[in-house]
Structure 1
Amino acid sequence: MKNTYILAIESSCDDTSAAVLLNDKVLSNEVANQSVHEQYGGVVPELASRAHLQNIVPVVAQALEKAKVGKEELSAIAFTRGPGLMGSLLVGTSFAKSMAMGLGIPLIEVNHMQAHILAHFIDEGQKKPEFPFLAMTISGGHTQIVKVNSFFDMEILGETLDDAVGEAFDKTAKILGLPYPGGPLIDTYAKEGNPEAFAFAKPNISGLNFSFSGLKTGILYFIQKQTALNANFISENLADICASAQHTIVQILMNKLKKAVKQTGIKQIAIGGGVSANSGIRTALTAMGEQYGWDTFVPKFQYCTDNAAMIGIVGYYKYLNGDFTTQNTTAQPRLSFK
C-alpha cells in the first residue's frame, strides 16, 4: 500500500502542536506551550490565540524538519475543528486550510475529543483496544464515558453535568493557593499524603453522568472552616489534603466506570485526555483491571495532553476512508460527537 504522510495541527486551547505521521506511526510531534497564562491563574483566550499566531509557523516547520518530510510529500493536512476556544481554533483551522489549498492536497477535520480516544491506535508496538470498548475522556473541559463501536462510531453514555474533572483539580489547587496549572501539583503532593486523612462527600448522580461542582464547593467550605481555626492548616496538611481530594475524585471516576462495565458488559477500558496523565487515576484503573478482569489501556504521557499526533492518527484513518472536508469548513468551539 502507498505510504500516507499526514501533517496534523492542534490548536484547541493553549498548546500549539504539529505532527507528521507516516501511516499510523508518528515521525514527529512538536508542542509549543504558553507560559503567559500562569500569572492569570488560567487560560486567557485572547492571549492564547495571539500566541498561536506566533507559534504555528515555526512549530509546523520544526515538525516537518524533524520528520525529514518535505511539504510536497504530504498526502493531507488534518486539523482540530473543535471543541475548544474559538480564537485558538481559528488559527489552526485557517492555517490548515491555507496550506492544504496551496499544496493542492485534501483537508481533514478532526474532533478533538475523538482524537483523545483514538490516540490509543498510534502504532508504537503496543497492544491496542478491540472494538467495542469503553473510553473515559477526562480533561480540563470534558468528562465523558464513551462507547466506541468503531473508529468513527462513538456514543456518549455519560458526561459531566457541570464542571469537568480537570477543572475540579485546578479549582482545588487554587483554593489551596497553588499556582496554575494546579492539577499536576495536586498529583505530586498527593503521593506524599494520606488519601484517607480527610473525607469529602461524593455527589449522588444517577446513571453514568458526573458532577464535580458540589465536591469543589465542599472542599472550599472545608478549607475555610479549618483555616479559621488554624491559619497554618493548609501548609501543615497540604499533602494529606491533596491526597484526600485526589482519592475522592478517583473514586468517583472508577465507580462510574464500574457501573458502565456492568451496564454494557464491555471489559475493554481506555482512558484519554489531559487528566489521564494523573498517576492516581492510572494506578486505580490498572488495579481495577486486575481486580475485575478488564483489559485496560493507558496512553503514553505525550499523548495525554493536547498534541497533534492524536489529530494525525484520526486524520490517517479518515484519509483511508476518503473522509475529507472542504475549504468552507469553519471552527466549531462546541463541536459534538457525530
Structure 2
Amino acid sequence: MLASGAKRCRVNSRSNTAFLNAFWAFQKPVRTYKVLAIETSCDDTCVAILDRKNPNEAPQVLVHLKETLESGQDGGIIPTRAHLHHQQKIGPLVQAALAQTASNADIDLVCVTRGPGMPGSLSGGLDFAKGLAVAWNIPLVGVHHMLGHLLVPRMQHNALEPRFPFVSLLVSGGHTLVVLSKALNEHEILCDTIDIAIGDSLDKCAREIGIRGNMIAKTMESFINENLDDAHSGAIPMTLPKPLGNQNGRMNVQKFSFAPFLTAVRQNLTKGIQLYTDRERRSMAYQIQECLFDHLITKLKLVINMRPEIFQDVKQLVCSGGVGANKRLQQRLQTELANSFKKFHYPKPSLCTDNAVMIGWAGIELYETLGLKTELDVGPIKKWPITEILQVPGWSCQ
C-alpha cells in the first residue's frame, strides 16, 4: 500500500510516458527546465545542475561539484564531523553551481537525497533543499540514494536502456545488493550482505596492510596496478576465507558476508606491516581484492542458478556504486558472466561514487514518470529499503 497521497499519482510507467511524450510534443517551443540536485548521505557534499531540454534527449549536466570530508587520519567517518562538513560546504557549493551556470532564478525542480544514510549528513542537504524549494516556490523530490546508483546508467540513454526489467549489482562502502528492478517503483532484493558491505571490507583490509588515504579501496586498486608482476608474484601467500560455504566448500547460502576477510587478513600478518616490502604488500593487496571479488561473483552466480525464471528474460546487468568503478571487477564480471548477460552497464567513474548527478536523474524519473514530488515536512530516513520506495510518508502528486 502506498503512502498517503502517493496512491493518487500516475504509477503506470508505460501509459504515463506516452502521455508525457504527447504533452512535450504539443509544446511549441519545447520548454527547458533545470534541476538542482544535492547529495549528502555520507561524507561527500555534492551539487549538480541538470538541463532537461525535452523528453527525447538525455539531460545535459551543466555543472557537478563535490567536496569530500578528509577522514583518512580519523580511521573512518565520524558522523559529527560529517554533519559539520555538510553544513559548511553546501551553501558555497550551491552558490558556486548557480554562478557557473547563470541559473540563479532559473531552477524549476530541486532533487535531494532523503535516505538511506547518516541522519546528520542527510539533514544537511535535505534542510537546505527544502529551504530552496520554499524560496523559489518550486517542487522538491526526495530521492532514495541507492535508486540513484541503480538508475544513473539510464541517463545516458534517456531511460531507454537498460529497459525494465534489469538486474543491478550495487556495491559501495555502505551497501552490497543484487536488485531486480521490474519498474521504477518495483524492486526485489535477490541478495544482500549479512554484515558489512564489500567497500567497507576492502577499506578495512587495505588499512591493515598499510594503505592510507580517503578512498582506501581505490588507492589499493591503484597500488596493485602500479606493478602487476609484483601483484601476481605470490610473494606472501595468504589464507583467505570463502564465507557462507558448506562443508564441501560450495557457496550454498544466498547472502554475502564480507566481515570474515578482515579477521583473516590480520591472522595472515606475522610481523609489523612496516617490515613488509612494497612487493610483498602489493601481492597481499592483489590476493585480498581477488578473494573479495571471488565471493561477490560466486554469490551472484548462485542467485542466477537459484532463480532461473528471472534470468531467462533478464539479460542486462548494471554494476554501480563506488566499488563498481574498479576496472578489475568490471573485467571479471564481463568474463565470468558472459553466458548470463548480453549487456553490462557501468556508469563512468565520477558517477559510480556518490554524486549529485544520479540524484538529479532519479528525481527526474520519479517526477516525470510517476508524477511524484515530496512534501516539505519530511525528515531524513536512516534506513529505507529499496523495496519500499513509495511506502514512506511524504509523497504527493504534482
CA contact (8 A) 1:81 1:110 kept: yes
Calculate the aligned-residue CA RMSD, in Å: 2.1
Instruction: Structure 2 unaligned segments of length 5 or more: list them.
Output: 1-23, 25-30, 53-57, 246-251, 389-398
Within 1, Cα distance between the matches of 2:331 and 2:238?
20
Shift of residue 38 of structure 1?
1.7
The reply to whether residue 138 of structure 1 matches residue 171 of structure 2 is yes
Q: What percentage of residue pairs aligned between the two structures are identical?
A: 30
Q: TM-score, normalised by structure 2?
A: 0.79
CA contact (8 A) 1:5 1:75 kept: yes
- State the SS of the aligned residue for 2:63: strand
Report the counterpart of residue 219 of structure 1 in structure 2.
Answer: 265
Greater mean deviation of Cα atoms: 113-122 or 230-239: 230-239
Report the counterpart of residue 190 of structure 1 in structure 2.
Answer: 224
Shift of residue 207 of structure 1?
4.0
The reply to whether residue 129 of structure 1 matches residue 162 of structure 2 is yes
CA contact (8 A) 2:37 2:356 kept: yes
Q: TM-score, normalised by structure 1?
A: 0.92
- State the SS of the aligned residue for 1:227: coil
Shift of residue 94 of structure 1?
0.4
Within 2, Cα distance between the matches of 1:125 and 1:153?
19
Shift of residue 63 of structure 1?
2.1
Within 2, Cα distance between the matches of 1:284 and 1:136?
13
CA contact (8 A) 2:239 2:264 kept: no
The reply to whether residue 4 of structure 1 matches residue 53 of structure 2 is no
Give the count of matched residue pairs.
Answer: 333
Within 1, Cα distance between the matches of 2:317 and 2:355?
22
Within 1, Cα distance between the matches of 2:159 and 2:330?
17
Report the counterpart of residue 256 of structure 1 in structure 2.
Answer: 299
Match runs of 1:1-338 below 5 Å? 1=24, 2-23=31-52, 24-25=58-59, 26-35=61-70, 37-66=71-100, 68-123=101-156, 128-180=161-213, 181-191=215-225, 192=228, 193-194=231-232, 197-204=237-244, 206-223=252-269, 226-227=270-271, 232-233=275-276, 235-262=278-305, 263=307, 264-265=310-311, 266-290=314-338, 292-320=340-368, 321-337=370-386, 338=388
- State the SS of the aligned residue for 2:384: coil
Within 1, Cα distance between the matches of 2:157 and 2:93?
23
Within 2, Cα distance between the matches of 1:167 and 1:142?
9
Shift of residue 195 of structure 1?
8.1
- State the SS of the aligned residue for 1:156: strand
Shift of residue 149 of structure 1?
0.9
Shift of residue 69 of structure 1?
4.6
Within 1, Cα distance between the matches of 2:276 and 2:334?
33
Query: Closer, same or farther in 2 for the Cα pair 1:195/1:300, shift >3 Å?
Result: farther
- State the SS of the aligned residue for 1:183: helix
Shift of residue 73 of structure 1?
2.0
- State the SS of the aligned residue for 2:271: helix
CA contact (8 A) 1:83 1:335 kept: yes
AA aligned opposite 1:173: A
Within 2, Cα distance between the matches of 1:293 and 1:13?
32
- State the SS of the aligned residue for 2:243: coil
Give 1 or 2 for the bigger CA radius of gyration.
2
Report the counterpart of residue 391 of structure 2 in structure 1.
Answer: none
Within 2, Cα distance between the matches of 1:168 and 1:195?
23
- State the SS of the aligned residue for 2:105: helix
Within 2, Cα distance between the matches of 1:294 and 1:48?
40
Within 2, Cα distance between the matches of 1:173 and 1:85?
24
- State the SS of the aligned residue for 2:161: coil
